[in-house]
Amino acid sequence: MASNHHFTIGWISPLPLEKEAARLVFDEEYPQDEVQHKGVFYLGGRIGVHKVVMGVQRRIGLSQAAILAEKMRDGFPNIKYFFLVGIAGGVPRYGPAGAASEIVLGDVVVSYPRGNHGGVLQYDKGAWQGQGCLKFRGHTNGVPGDLLVAVNNFRSEGWSKINICDTLKQMRLKLDEKRQGQYDDPGPIRDRLFEDGYQHQGTELDDCKDCCDADYTISRFERGESATRPTDEPSVHFGNIASSNQLQISAVERNRVHLEHEAICFEMEAAGVMEEHPCVVIRGICDYADSHKNKGWQNYAAATAAAYAKGLLSTIPAVQVEDREKSANVSSHQPATHAMNVTFGSQNSGQQAGVINGGVHGAVFGRR
């Protein structure tokens, strides 16, 4: 049984479907009744050399993410980093003209500093001014430097894409035959990007293929055997992640935030965690942050994000919990070593018992 003090990575899955994908990357999963704090059960296990504890939010939103992170920190005090892993909406195209990068469904976005931001921003935070103008005040803490080093190492070595593909295969093998297709790449035929001004024509439960006009779609990268980009090989993108309490369903607003803040991804939790905790955010793209939500991509996007997170963890050295606990125990039992002023004279009577390690300054013995 792993002690709560042995967990060093806190993994936040905002939604249950994200947790179900994430648990498939465990190399070893601990019994659920052994990982708890104050009556709340968590998912715990080992990924490589790291002991990881996973928590799921009760509700969506920035404050709920912050509350969960605080509870996990309280129950598992040796958590050094948080990984916020799940699904999100992506910006279809970003970067300078002539060298733009394309994000397609199933790709992964990792929080990374761009422009004036450290990787995450809360784009709906600020002060309202005249004519409906919001003066932005949504800066958050950036991704910690040592986590950025790990992200850069994983990126520069070119491991990301290979690692994700291999991990996805391993994840599927853990499922029974009937469920293995749950995390398959839906393929380019189901990757539909509509023109910015064309709204979803049905309810949120209606698939675009049943209610929207295909004449308003914009072609995406071809994927498959004859294409330059194979199926089931998601790309990884690095940039600012825009966070808010509101679900982003406007292509026009998406484009505005992208242009103002160099954001390439939209979600509803990261800013709540980044304010107080060292964290990297990893998101699989399941829609284009517009009115055309696509539940058919959610499982695959959750799996690609989890697969990347596992690969990133493999580049981070194990946290030496034993040394930290020993250090804490030693310091808590160490006698006081600070200097003290002591006066023994006619105005002081009684006995002083105890041990003082260190210099004694200002001591006066005898009458005054």
Question: Which residues share a beta bridge with 83?
Answer: 11, 280
Length in residues, the chain = 368
In the prediction, which pLDDT does 232 show?
82
Tell me if 62 sits within 8 A of 260, measured CB to CB: no
| pLDDT in the model for residue 328 | 44
Residue 117 is given by DSSP the state B
Residue 51 to residue 193: CA distance in whole angstroms:
39
Radius of gyration for the alpha carbons in the chain, expressed in angstroms and rounded: 26
d(CA 131, CA 310): 46
Query: Cβ neighbours of residue 246 under 8 Å, at least 6 residues apart?
Result: 124, 268
Q: 């986590």: which residue's tokens?
A: 147
Whole-number pLDDT of residue 345: 41
Nearest to 307 by CA among 187, 213, 133, 168: 168
Give Cβ neighbours of residue 297 (< 8 Å, ≥ 6 apart). Answer: 105, 106, 186, 190, 191, 285, 286, 287
**Alpha carbons 98 and 100: distance in angstroms, whole number:** 6
Residue type, 277: H
Burial class (CB in 10 A: 0-12, 13-18, 19+), 185: buried
pLDDT along the chain (368 residues), means of 10: 91 98 98 93 98 96 97 98 98 91 95 95 75 72 94 82 87 94 92 89 81 84 68 91 95 95 97 96 97 93 97 92 50 41 40 40 41
Domains and CATH numbers, the chain: 4-323 (3.40.50.1580), 336-368 (no CATH)
3-state helix, strand, coil in the chain (%, to 5): 35, 25, 40
At 306 the pLDDT is 98
DSSP H or E segment with residue 228? none
What residues have CB less than 8 Å from 287, skipping those under 6 apart?
A: 89, 90, 105, 293, 294, 297
CB 27 within 8 A of CB 46: yes
Which tokens sit at 132? 């409906």
Q: What is the pTM of this model?
A: 0.84
What would the 3-class secondary structure string for 295-353 be?
HHHHHHHHHHHHHHHHHHHCCCCCCCHHHHHHHHHHHHHCCCCCCEEEEECCCCCCCCC
Please give the Cα distance from 268 to 283 (Å, whole number). 11
Q: What is the pLDDT of residue 198?
A: 87
What are φ and ψ of residue 362, in 5° steps?
75, 20
